[in-house]
Each structure stands twice: as C-alpha cells, then as structure tokens.
Structure 1
Amino acid sequence: MTRLHRRAASALALGTLAASAGAPTAWAQALSVQRSGQPLAQTPTHLAPASAPDTTLQHKPQAGSLTAGETPGALRSVAGPQTLLRAAEVPPARLERTRVLLVELQARPQPDQAVAIDLPADVLFDFDRADLRADAASSLAKAAELVEGYPQAPLMVVGHTDGKGSDAYNDALSLRRAQAVAEALRVRTGRQARTQGQGKRQPVAPNAQPDGSDDPEGRQRNRRVQILIEPLARGG
C-alpha cells in the first residue's frame, strides 16, 4: 500500500468513528492531517515567558537606626526603648548639631540613662582655684549648646578633685567649682542646675603608681567637672 493509500485509509477510519458516535462529519474532517509545504526551519517560533512569583527586597532595620515612619530624631534601638544618648528628646532642628557635640565632648551614657560629659578642671580653673579662666569660655559654650539640645531635662553639675589634700578641703573646692560651672551654664541657657562636690571620692584613674609614687596623669584626669543631663523622670 502506498503512502497516499495509507493516509486515505486513516482519514476514512476517523470519519467512520466520528459518524458512529453521532458527531458531525465536519468534526472528522477537522482531524485530518494537514501538512505544510514550508520547511520546519522557516516556521516562526513563539516563546512565552513563564510566570514566577515577584521578588521584592526589604530593608532590615539595624540596632540604633531610624525606622521608616518615625518622627525625625526618634532614633530607637532594637535592644531597648530608647537610644543610648536619648536622641528622641532632641528637637529635630537640633539633632545633627547635638550629635556632633556628643562626639566632640565625648559624652557617655550612665546606668540611669543620664548623659554625662567631663570638662577637665585644668582647662576651666587655675591650680587650687574655683573662679573660671577666661579661656574656659569655648568649652563652656559647647557644653551649654549640648544642654540646649535636651530642653526638658534636669541638670546636675558635680565637681571632682585628685587625691591630694584632705577630704574637707577637696569637698569644698569641688563644690565651688561645680557651682561656678552651673552658673556659667545658667547665664548661657537660662537653666538652673543642681550642684554637688564629690571631692576625691570618685576617681576615674589612679592617683598613684603601683609602687606608691605619684601619678600626675591620673591625678589630672581626676580633676574634672562633670555635667549630667539627667533623665526626664527626675524632673518632678
């Protein structure tokens, strides 16, 4: 049987099957093989993209970073309700300048969330004196500007001395120095600060070497006036 005869037999069989099932003869004709005279290589190929789920990238907030939707300056940490240096209290217009001052003045947080800065006494006062030197104005101006960044916070100024001299003498000297700095802040900011003299009771460095000899660098670090920008909870 030739190829043409086989093709005709196949078409006839399909037509008979369709007729026995009650389908129209046209349906059987639609099933007949139609060959194209065009080579396969010239037949256009249509590619449709496969559908896939959209991929989106989301930013993961880091500790201490600004979160979208928060008020400018409302810096918060993943680890706690407030940032280390209470930036949420700073007015937005003062935030950038306050951040600069915190770095310049080497501010550090206290366990009670107070913000502390230490002003070296040797920059502020002459030896054994409690009246401010003229060249202390620059340090005091920066401290006052930082204080203004926390407009509602209560303030405390604490004087400290080195280990030389008696407790009575050092307590009195450290208190007078604290009062002088507090007054300078009041003049610049209009804010009143509480004062305290700790004398030599809270050193931040050794006053003497391990062999008992004098440690002048340690004593210099201990001579300081500390400004504490206290938590709002203390304001009442």
Structure 2
Amino acid sequence: MQISRRMMLLGLGGLTLTGCVTNEVGAKLDQTGHGAAQAHNLRIQTGELSFAQALGERFAAEVPSTVNFAFDSAVLDAEAQAVLARQARWIRQFPEVTFRVYGHTDLVGSARYNHQLGLRRARAVVDFLVRNGVNRSRLEALVSHGQTRPLIPTPEPERRNRRTVTEVSGFVRRHPTVMDGNYARIVYREFVESATWVRPNTY
C-alpha cells in the first residue's frame, strides 16, 4: 500500500511538533509529564486561570514573596532588603503588572495596634520597592491581616508571623480578554533579551 505524500508530510510535521518543547523565558522546565503545558494553556484560554494568576504563580515560584521583621518593628533588616531587591528586579520586568503587599503581625498585642503595625510594615516594603525602580502607582500596601492569619498559631512572639507578603494583583489596565497583546509583548521582549548572543572571551 502506497502512503500519499501529504500523509507522510503530516506525519513528519506531527513528529516535529511532538519533539519540540518550548518554555517561556525564565520559566522552569516542566517535569510533570507530556501534556502539562497544554493543560496550563487550556486553563488560560478558557479563563479558568487568568494571566494575573499565572504570573502570581510564577512570581511565587521564582522570587521569595515574604520578608520577616523583628518584634514590634517595621524596619527592614539586611536579609529583608536582599529579598526585596530580588522582588524589585522581577517586578521591573513586568511594567504592566500591579502588586499588593500584605502586612502581618504575630499574636502579641491588641488588634488595633497590630493593624497599624502591619500597615507600617507593608508601607516599608512598598517604599523600598519604589526606591528600587518600581512605580508607586503599581503597588498597594494593605492593612494587616493581623491575628486572623498567623502562619504559626501561638500567642507567643513568633518571627514567622511578623511578615509581609508580596502578591500579583492584576494589570495596570484591566484586560477585557485574556490575551490582548500586552502579555505577548512582554514575553517577546524577554525572548529577545535572552537570545542576545554574547561573544565569549577568547585568549
């Protein structure tokens, strides 16, 4: 039986596509098995997973989103500043994306005092990100969840509860559709930057 030229080309094209794996610049290689990327794309195309959610997941995977504070303090120590410098670098890559910074406290002290302390912590983070090149209009400092969302439920002082969490909140301009070209432009920009060839040193 003779195979038509068209069927043969279709078969070869299918093999080529099957063997081709592409990852967005900066994205980790998907090790979950064939079809995971397709499932992810389907969730985005059907609206089940918005671009804001997808970017939020990527941000949380690529950059530490949390910094911690000393007791009764909103001062950023050296460790917190190092984390926030990484956040600022990541955030500057996506000028169309907005972020919220949530301030938290431990369970020591009154709810009213902790509310204000958490807000001071969130504002300290926003101020640091602004000083590191992020436009203030893209950042929002929110009041503390205080005693309602401790990581460690204890009435004692607990450093892990004294924290801020930075999260993707949306886009500068609300998008009526999932893909309106803005996100594609960002991906393309990153692709071009990553594809720049640097001549190695030769001796």
Instruction: State the TM bucket, normalised to the shorter chain.
Output: 0.5 to 0.7
TM-score when normalising by structure 1:
0.51
Structure 1's 147 and 222: CA in aligned 2 closer, same or farther, altered over 3 A? same
Aligned residues: 146
Larger helix percent: 2
Residue equivalent to 2:61: 103
Q: Are 1:196 and 2:142 counterparts?
A: yes
**Pick from 54, 71, 84: which aligns with 1:85?**
54
CA distance in structure 1 between the aligned counterparts of 2:130 and 2:41, rounded to whole angstroms: 32
One-letter code aligned to 1:134: A
Displacement of 1:143 after TM fit? 0.8
Closer/same/farther in 2, CA of residues 141 and 163 from structure 1, 3 Å limit: same
Rate the CA distance shift 1:80–1:190 in 2: closer, same or farther, 3 A: closer
Tell me the alpha carbon deviations over residues 77-129 of structure 1, each in whole angstroms, 9 at most, x when there is no partner: 11223555239xxxxxxxxxxx6x643435xxxxxxxxxx3x131xxx32211
Is 1:51 the counterpart of 2:20 in the alignment? no
State the Cα deviation string for residues 168-216 of structure 1 (Å, max 9, x = none): 11011111111111000000024112212224244153413xxxxx577
RMSD: 3.3
Work out which structure has the larger RCO, using CA pairs closer than 8 Å and 6 or more positions apart in sequence.
Answer: 2
Is it true that 1:222 corresponds to 2:161 in the alignment?
Answer: yes
- Residue 35 of structure 2: aligned partner: 62
Structure 1 unaligned residues grouped into runs of 5+: 1-49, 66-75, 88-98, 107-116, 209-213
Indicate the structure (1 or 2) with the bigger Cα radius of gyration.
1
Structure 2 alignment gaps of length 5 or more: 19-33, 176-203
Q: Is the 2:88–2:134 Cα contact (8 Å) retained in structure 1?
A: no
What's the % identity of the aligned pairs?
A: 26
- Contact preservation (8 Å) 1:63, 1:78: no
